[in-house]
């Protein structure tokens, strides 16, 4: 039985690239959630006025990878202490967010946040929002598998590749 969680940690290209490399992830779909505009476009989300965050809908097999592991990896590979920002990407569309589907996912997110906070990995407070998922809208086709299809582009080399390298270094046992 598969489960799905929706995560936002800056640009969705980064989050999607990281999670597609993991055993047990059956799909990672870039999209938009958390706003008021129905079926938003990338251009609408980029303005910051639609209310949506760039997110990735991560579907996984809990027999192979747990939600706890997914969330721990998520908190390791983006900065959850910067409000509405990841590196040079700034705006509410780049906020750190966990959008849960049920109370169990909410509880797990809160547990992992408490563990990460207690560990001291991040010196500043975690500002990741934990909110219910209301609607998920898949992003346009050219955003899907962006890193895999554009590895030579500057953004991919400068921003995404180091995150993928960090994943491979820290979580090699969980890679496909």
Q: Which residues are catalytic?
A: 11
Residue 142 maps to which CATH number? 3.30.1060.10
How many domains are contained in the chain? 1
Domain ranges, residue 162: 3-174
Distance CA 174, CA 168 (A): 9
Distance CA 16, CA 84 (A): 18
Query: Residue 87's pLDDT is what?
Result: 87
In the block, residue with structure tokens 């899907």? 144
Residues in the chain: 176
Distance CA 82, CA 90 (A): 10
Distance CA 36, CA 11 (A): 19
122, two tokens: 């991040």
Query: Residue 78's pLDDT is what?
Result: 94
Sequence-distant contacts of 168-176: CB under 8 A, at least 24 apart: 168/21, 170/76, 171/22, 171/73, 174/22, 174/23, 174/24, 174/65, 174/69, 174/73, 175/21, 175/22, 175/23, 176/21, 176/22, 176/23
> How many Cβ atoms are within 10 Å of 86's Cβ, its own excluded?
22
Query: Residue 88's pLDDT is what?
Result: 86
Query: Residue 62's pLDDT is what?
Result: 97
pTM for the full model? 0.95
- Which stretches of the chain drop beneath a pLDDT of 50? none
């Amino acid at each position: 039985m598969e489960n799905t969680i929706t995560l936002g940690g800056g640009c969705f290209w980064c989050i999607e690239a990281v999670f597609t490399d993991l055993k047990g992830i059956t799909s990672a779909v870039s999209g938009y959630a958390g706003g008021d505009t129905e079926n938003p476009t990338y251009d609408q989300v980029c303005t910051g006025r639609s209310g949506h965050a760039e997110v990735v809908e991560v579907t996984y097999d809990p027999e192979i990878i747990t939600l706890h592991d997914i969330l721990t990896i998520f908190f390791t590979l983006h900065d959850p202490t910067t409000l509405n920002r990841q590196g040079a990407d700034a705006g509410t569309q780049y906020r750190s967010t966990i959008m849960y589907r049920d109370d169990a996912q909410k509880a797990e997110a809160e547990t992992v946040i408490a563990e990460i906070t207690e560990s001291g990995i991040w010196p500043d407070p975690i500002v990741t929002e934990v909110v219910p998922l209301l609607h998920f809208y898949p992003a346009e086709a050219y955003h899907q598998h962006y890193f895999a299809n554009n590895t030579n582009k500057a953004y991919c080399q400068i921003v995404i590749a180091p995150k993928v390298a960090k994943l491979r270094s820290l979580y090699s046992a969980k890679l496909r």
